[in-house]
Amino acid sequence: MSKKIDGILQSAVDAGDVPFVVAMAANASSVVYSGAFGPASQGRVAQEDTVFRIFSMTKSVGSVAAMVLIDRGALSMDTPVADILPEWNDLRVLEGWDGNTPMLRAPKVAATVRHLATHTSGLEYEFWNTDMAKFLEVTEATPILSGLKAGLKYPLMTDPGTRWGYGPSIDWLGQIVEKVDGRRIDAFCQAEIFDPLGMSSTAFESDGMEDRLADVSIRDENGSFGPFEIAPPAKPEVYGMGHALYSTAPDYLTFLRMVLNKGALNGNRILSEGAVAQMTADQMQGLTFQDMVTAAPPLTADVAMPEGTTHSFAFVRAEADVPYARRAGSQSWAGVCNTHYWIDSTSELAAVIMTQSLPFVEEPYMRTYRAYEEGLYAMA
């Protein structure tokens, strides 16, 4: 059956649906599938050890970092953000426009750690919110991908706790971890997550991994892939836990297997079983995922999920079975250059499927993703 999945992925490369692909799957005890197809960079074929800019796959690591502190009693999901980071109180809600002048007001609700983790804080990216894109343009405000601390100061698009909106909330959550723990977030993640799990190819800088780093491609108006330069900012003022990491398929699968195995792997415990149960439960307090309509079509297509999809403390959470695929309660998300993953505790399966291409979630890529996922479940 693994040969069938090999064929699916090789055909996707041959058809130009993806420039290359690395995919792996595992249960809590072992890897059950691994395959790599196509050229990851000039002169180098994709391999298991290919290094990816994982962008928003960083977010779950940031949420796990916060969960470590919650597990130890040093933090609560209900802690107000401003109690730890008083600068949060500088943020205002963008209520509308007077021509090109933004109309801002104070939030009506105090944001909490839970709001940050579930993307209900009011912060939204410019890539899926035209008002945020306009705000950056007319005010010349610092964007989040600058790596500067000023880039955290986006206005809120809604009051906290009133809508799911995808944005730089986890960057703020990483700053909370720093403030509570005292270590910089890269040092915290290294000591508390990467080293115990043996994630030796996961890092905040690509130093020493350049020869394994994949190229990024973008699809042009003719449907062909061409080179595109995009990467997390090097040596930033602030490591953004929304986007800062580099990793490999085996490393990230190790992280997912820790969650699948209820907080421990290979004799090293990252979280208690109770903390994992809390972290993977619906934490949206009655809200649900809202479709993300693109404001930057060259970079991303629209992002839609089944009606009723929620968000746990660390992941998007499926609330219904997907036919021939993941089961209710599964956790998932992705990075903007089309690195994707899911964790299905009911089926005891975790998987990644990764390339480096734009636009995000374009249909050719998603065809490949769906065929891969269905192929894995057919193996079971």
Q: Give the pLDDT confidence of 284-305 residue by residue, as tens digits.
A: 999 999 999 999 999 999 999 9
Active-site choice (33, 41, 59, 377): 59
Reply yes or no on whether 365 is catalytic: no
Burial of 6 by CB count in 10 Å (0-12 exposed, 13-18 middle, 19+ buried)?
middle
- Choose between 221 and 181: higher pLDDT: 181
Judged by average pLDDT, the poorest of 36-40, 165-169, 298-302, 376-380 is 376-380
Q: Give the pLDDT confidence of 82-118 residue by residue, as tens digits.
A: 999 999 999 999 999 999 999 999 999 999 999 999 9
The pair of three-digit structure tokens given for residue 278, joined into one six-digit string: 């809390």
Q: Using pLDDT thresholds of 50, 70 and 90, give the confidence band for residue 224.
A: very high
Average pLDDT over the chain, rounded to an integer: 97
Q: Give the pLDDT confidence of 241-251 residue by residue, as tens digits.
A: 999 999 999 99
Q: Let me know: does 301 contact 292? Beta carbons within 8 Å.
A: no
Instruction: Report how far residue 76's alpha carbon sits from residue 183's, in angstroms, rounded to the nearest whole number.
Output: 18
Q: Tell whether the model's pLDDT for residue 380 goes beyond 80.
A: no
Instruction: Report how far residue 154's alpha carbon sits from residue 104's, in angstroms, rounded to the nearest whole number.
Output: 12
Phi, psi of 236, rounded to the nearest 5 degrees:
-75, 165
pLDDT at 145: 96
pLDDT at 1: 62
By C-alpha distance, which of 146, 47, 64 is closest to 333? Answer: 64
Is this model's pTM higher than 0.95 or not? yes
Q: Using pLDDT thresholds of 50, 70 and 90, give the confidence band for residue 29.
A: confident
Instruction: Report how far residue 51's alpha carbon sits from residue 378's, in angstroms, rounded to the nearest whole number.
Output: 28
Q: Let me know: does 297 contact 359? Beta carbons within 8 Å.
A: yes
What would you report as the CA-atom Rg of the chain, rounded to the nearest whole angstrom? 20
Active-site choice (33, 125, 154, 166): 166
Q: Let me know: does 34 contact 48? Beta carbons within 8 Å.
A: yes
3-state SS, 235-267, equals CCCCCCCCCCCEECHHHHHHHHHHHHCCCEECC
The pair of three-digit structure tokens given for residue 73, joined into one six-digit string: 């009693």
Active-site choice (33, 41, 56, 252): 56
Alpha carbon separation from 213 to 43, 244, 320, 325 (Å, rounded): 12, 15, 36, 31
Q: Is 119 helix (H, G, I), strand (E, B) or coil?
A: coil
Q: Tell whether the model's pLDDT for residue 315 goes beyond 90.
A: yes
The percentage of residues in the chain with a pLDDT greater than 90, rounded to a whole number, is: 98
Q: Let me know: does 50 contact 211? Beta carbons within 8 Å.
A: no
Q: Tell whether the model's pLDDT for residue 221 goes beyond 80.
A: yes
Instruction: Report how far residue 175's alpha carbon sits from residue 252's, in angstroms, rounded to the nearest whole number.
Output: 22
Residue with tokens 């980071």: 85
- Choose between 376 and 380: higher pLDDT: 376
pLDDT at 379: 86
Q: Tell whether the model's pLDDT for residue 177 goes beyond 70.
A: yes
Residues 6+ positions from 98 with CB-CB distance below 8 Å: none
Reply yes or no on whether 4 is catalytic: no
Number of alpha helices (DSSP H) and beta strands (DSSP E) in the chain: 11, 18
Q: First-to-last CA distance in the chain?
A: 10
Helix or strand holding residue 370 (H, E): helix 363-379
Q: Give the pLDDT confidence of 51-70 residue by residue, as tens digits.
A: 999 999 999 999 999 999 99
Alpha carbon separation from 3 to 6, 7, 8, 34, 342 (Å, rounded): 5, 6, 9, 11, 21
Q: Tell whether the model's pLDDT for residue 129 goes beyond 70.
A: yes
Q: Give the pLDDT confidence of 323-374 residue by residue, as tens digits.
A: 999 999 999 999 999 999 999 999 999 999 999 999 999 999 999 999 999 9
Q: Tell whether the model's pLDDT for residue 28 goes beyond 90.
A: no
Reply yes or no on whether 166 is catalytic: yes
Helix or strand holding residue 114 (H, E): helix 113-117
Instruction: Report how far residue 57's alpha carbon sits from residue 64's, in angstroms, rounded to the nearest whole number.
Output: 12
Residues 6+ positions from 4 with CB-CB distance below 8 Å: 375, 378
Domain coordinates in residue numbering, the chain: 2-56+203-379
Burial of 224 by CB count in 10 Å (0-12 exposed, 13-18 middle, 19+ buried)?
exposed
- Identify the CATH number of the domain defined by range 2-56+203-379: 3.40.710.10
The pair of three-digit structure tokens given for residue 217, joined into one six-digit string: 């491609």
